Amino acid sequence: MNPFSEYRVMWILVFFDLPTETKKDIKEYTMFRKRLQQDGFTMFQFSIYVRHCASMENAEVHMKRVNSFLPEYGKVGIMCITDKQFGNIKLFYGKKAQTPNAPGQQLELF
């Protein structure tokens, strides 16, 4: 199989609902988002961050990394989908269809 096949290339989606009631909550929320960004995730929508990975093995590394800095409270979901599935996402702004604004392809050095 082609190493860059749309079925091999993966996208990780991290979606979360974190409390922001106290200063400590806000600090943890901010730190979680900052760590996602430091690991190469970009905002797809409020509380949904995505990251492009060249393979499932690479995606597993990043999913474990996200798991290592989960906040104490709140809900976090991590989902991995193929590039083909990501390309089939339908987005709407009101009733108008939107073209997915996916982050640019990341370069990987071997």
- Could you report the per-residue pLDDT of 70-96, keeping only the tens digit for each? 999 999 999 999 999 998 988 888 888
pLDDT over 60 (residue 17): yes
Is residue 32 domain-resident?
yes
Q: Which domain holds residue 86?
A: 10-98
Q: Supply the pTM of this predicted model.
A: 0.82
Each residue of 35-55: pLDDT tens digit?
Answer: 999 999 999 999 999 999 999
In angstroms, the first-to-last Cα distance of the chain is: 19
CATH number for the domain including 61? 3.30.70.240
Distances (CA, A) of 9 to 18, 51, 65, 72, 97: 29, 11, 19, 31, 25
Query: How many domains is the chain built from?
Result: 1
The verdict on residue 5 lying in a domain is no
